[in-house]
A and B are shown apart, each in its own frame.
Chain A
Amino acid sequence: EVQLVESGGDLVKPGGSLRLSCAASGFSVNDAWMNWVRQIPGVGLEWVGLIKSKGNGGTIDYGAPVKGRFIISRDDSKNMLYLQMNSLKTEDTAVYYCTTELSGALDMWGQGTMVTVSS
């Protein structure tokens, strides 16, 4: 069964760091375009960033609100996707989802993991 399971969400103080993990099963993250998307309470969905498949060069891109603070990576041997979040701000509070991407659409989503940034 194809599945994504996020973990690592927590309560963290402004300025702190946190690493989210996404465990993939049923396919190889190495062969997929993977995205992180967040859902801000009361606001909506916001695209965080993507990492292309190894075959497409593994290019990584980020949304403007997180560029320079967040880092997307993957471990092919563990079939895992990661989101390293640094210099966290209160406005980063959200549910974070990892997703696969196919033809410009996010076709598979995990259940999400909650990140709360508060003093």
Chain B
Amino acid sequence: QSALTQPPSASGSPGQSVTISCTGTSSDVGGYNYVSWYQQHPGKGPKLIISEVSKRPSGVPERFSACKSGNTASLTVSGLQSDDEADYFCSSYAGNNIYVFGTGTKVTVL
């Protein structure tokens, strides 16, 4: 199972928006509505910020939104804040109890 493809980096100024893509195949992203997104700050474990394509867990700000079209999922962070500077990973169910992760995107707040 190949990793999902994400851009290595993305950036924006405070208050702006940044969108990260996550491209897979019809066997993972395109085949199931089990795409999730994780935020990871340096030295910390990942934190779930989006589940089931677009659902925000309790406590995650509305500034984080996500969607999916075909084999590509996207995460948008609006109203960028300094604390949003982190690594972001997507993940998708790929059938047969297997999960695949994205390559990761480093978001920089300029």
Interface flag for B101 (CB, 8 Å): yes
**Nearest-neighbor residue (CB-CB) of A106 within chain B:** B48
Main secondary structure of the interface of A (DSSP, over half): strand
A-B pairs with beta carbons under 8 Å apart, 18 shown:
A35-B99, A47-B98, A47-B100, A47-B101, A61-B97, A63-B1, A97-B45, A102-B51, A104-B51, A104-B52, A105-B36, A105-B48, A105-B52, A106-B91, A107-B51, A107-B57, A111-B45, A112-B45
| Chain B residues positioned under 8 Å from A50 (CB to CB) | 97, 99
CB of B9 to closest CB in A, whole Å: 14
Interface flag for B3 (CB, 8 Å): yes
Cross-interface CB contact of B99 among A47, A64, A112, cutoff 8 Å: A47
| Chain A residues positioned under 8 Å from B104 (CB to CB) | 44-45
| Chain B residues positioned under 8 Å from A112 (CB to CB) | 45
Which 6 interchain pairs have the tightest Cβ spacing?
A104-B34, A105-B51, A61-B97, A105-B36, A109-B45, A45-B101
